[in-house]
Structure 1
């Protein structure tokens, strides 16, 4: 018989224990259903039409947003243009702050002259195409007088839009340390704007809803600032997914990149194919070696777009005039008819995975058990809620539900006085008989 050493016996116990320990500390893998293999700190993908969230990864954690901040500045400018308080032809006179910032080409800028004036349109184009920072501050100063006052407008708009987890310290997305000691009053010297991916996507969603014309500018791949003058400078769009650029992706026409040491490589992209427009946000994208790069953020965005366009489609979950088999009518009191028909008023359609439509089913939620005549056609009596039977549903970016009103589909007139009299008598004797029958039955 072969002799077993103490060392071998110990190994028999130690090796399995080591394996168990390794399994215990190994990070849990993402469910294969939603694992897109993204090497990012956060990501989200939504349908730009309905706001339906198709995918998210760590989307609720506040992270650096860098120049994606400029979407808020664009929003406020386009609001002001629409309100007529600012015009495209309005001239801006350069301040000490914007002049000094504009001379630092490392910060992405178009140089401004100390004695120069610039139209709001050309400053906007420099911001939206080239992410020019001094031009952005110039717009903020035009709208609010100072960047400090502009921050108040940014915070107010963020609250109106229902953004969460945001912190604005300037209008550009730069680190305050890069603002030559002229950062907005009340902000820290090394502060930087932060926001969760979900709020970034919500900002982009509302920007496209309220000001779709932003895409007219964000889709421009190249333009010359001050063309025909000695100050002319070529502006190339930092969104390399636009047509003809190095990471071109079919349908991309916006929206905003962002890069700082703190935030890493970020991107809010939007693309449209046929009748479907998607919005994707990636934050702090890195490659397989953990190194951040332009390529990493566009590769991650392409994966999100591939997932959205490839696996989702807009489907009708429930048609208009849908009726529930067990609740097709509601009782009517004091009416010529005893019941009134009810149905779902409008259809419910949204983006779902092509093979998951059957996982969604309607649930009736009535506000009343009966109605009193006279009942008009189209009277709202409740709503229908769409629920998913299994798996994860991320809901909508604005927090809404899959709902539609349930209404009456016919008119029921109020009964005449004499009819109501006899209804009352019938009800009285019916209740009396039921009471007697119950009493007598109780004796036995």
Structure 2
């Protein structure tokens, strides 16, 4: 006859069964509403990922360290050219003659000789597709007389855009001072420097103000002259347009249509990219990768991180009423208050599974001295500030309807009414 189990044996069996149960449970897949992205392990000196519609930053690494940007500096050259086109000061069919400097500058391009004449549009194709140093110099000299004068324009524009104090341009190409030798600027010191954040902000502004630049940057290949036997092949291997290329299709990225590569010995390999998927456009920057291929590999990591882990949330649509402020008081109007609404759309990228209550909103009306009739529907009457993830965004609060100026008689009787209301309130407060 077996003896009963001892206390020790009973406890040992309970612990064994419990351990087996835990092992079984932990081997089952766990369902989670929140998707936590794996940490990015980028092999680059610096990087940043930005929402092209708002400038919201969703990833950064050493983003404020000023580094040589190489040919990414040409984004500023492109911006100024397109600004001159937009203003009418420059036309796409204007002719440009290459100077000795433009015909002899080293590096990418090499399609111009001194005295060659081409249209602004032809040269712009060379800059945006082939990163042409020669075309960049020719356009700079066409616009400003000298490249040094053009570099001053670049630096002024950098200040207007709100780039960092370290953002600095010495030429239209991004080449180092030693590379341009006798043509180096005498009145501008230092070297061209940009941080990853500066490069992203520059891309943000060119996409915001001159989005048609993408009609140039998305071209995979193009002949510079119709008589040429070979084509300019875009240095941006990630273009979606390369998806059918035998040699480059492994780099092609869905939705990618710009923006600018760069490489010098000092800068390493750099790339400012932009891609759009499902109504979300992102701007990515990597600086200082070890090789040409690596800048695209690291960019893919960045863009995948953004598209896979964030959703677009429309915080306000244009014309939406505001819970934070339904109306504003106005003086001298037919109506004493005017309903308000959001003046434009504001959308943010929210991590999947995150709580939208993390978004903090504050409605700030204009000072009373500025809220005076007449006012038209759509006129600004305040600012709506929205904070999320340590960043602040704002849109205008606007009048939802007209409010005409009241006649003198209406204002007179309103004044009498207000006087007696205030008098009665004052008397009541005495008791």
Q: Distance between the aligned counterparts of 1:371 and 1:138, measured in 2? A: 49
Q: Which residue of 2 aligns with 1:276?
A: 280
CA contact (8 A) 1:67 1:131 kept: yes
Q: Distance between the aligned counterparts of 1:201 and 1:169, measured in 2? A: 19
Q: Distance between the aligned counterparts of 1:329 and 1:134, measured in 2? A: 57
Q: Which residue of 2 aligns with 1:8?
A: none
Q: Which residue of 2 aligns with 1:184?
A: 185
CA contact (8 A) 1:269 1:301 kept: yes
| Matching residue within 299, 304, 307 for 2:305 | 307
For structure 1, the 5+ residue unaligned runs are 1-31, 286-291, 396-400, 438-444
| Matching residue within 60, 66, 70 for 2:70 | 66
> 1:38: how far off?
1.7
| Matching residue within 394, 406, 410 for 1:402 | 394
Q: Distance between the aligned counterparts of 1:334 and 1:155, measured in 2? A: 46
SS where residue 213 of structure 1 aligns? Answer: helix
> 1:68: how far off?
0.4
SS where residue 235 of structure 2 aligns? Answer: coil
Q: Scaled by the length of structure 1, what TM-score is found?
A: 0.74
Q: Scaled by the length of structure 2, what TM-score is found?
A: 0.76
Q: 1:148 to 1:430 in 2, by over 3 A?
A: closer
CA contact (8 A) 1:385 1:403 kept: yes
SS where residue 85 of structure 2 aligns? Answer: helix
CA contact (8 A) 2:328 2:340 kept: no
Structure 2 residue 258 is the aligned partner of structure 1 residue 254: yes
Q: How many residues align?
A: 380
Query: What is the correspondence of 1:370-385 to structure 2 with a 5 Å cutoff?
Result: 382-385=382-385
Query: What is the correspondence of 1:246-395 to structure 2 with a 5 Å cutoff?
Result: 246-285=250-289, 292-318=290-316, 320-324=320-324, 344-346=341-343, 348-356=346-354, 357-366=356-365, 382-388=382-388, 392-395=389-392
Q: Which residue of 1 aligns with 2:128?
A: 128
For structure 2, the 5+ residue unaligned runs are 1-35, 243-247
Q: Distance between the aligned counterparts of 1:124 and 1:47, measured in 2? A: 26
Q: 1:303 to 1:406 in 2, by over 3 A?
A: same
SS where residue 281 of structure 2 aligns? Answer: strand
Q: 1:394 to 1:41 in 2, by over 3 A?
A: farther
SS where residue 251 of structure 2 aligns? Answer: coil
| Matching residue within 77, 97, 103 for 1:99 | 103
Q: 1:344 to 1:33 in 2, by over 3 A?
A: farther
CA contact (8 A) 2:342 2:395 kept: no
> 1:34: how far off?
8.8
CA contact (8 A) 1:151 1:171 kept: yes
Residues 134-191 of structure 1: CA distance to partner in whole angstroms, max 9, x if unpaired? 2211111121222122112212222222222211111111112111332122346xx5
Between 1:374-383 and 1:91-100, the stretch displaced more is 374-383
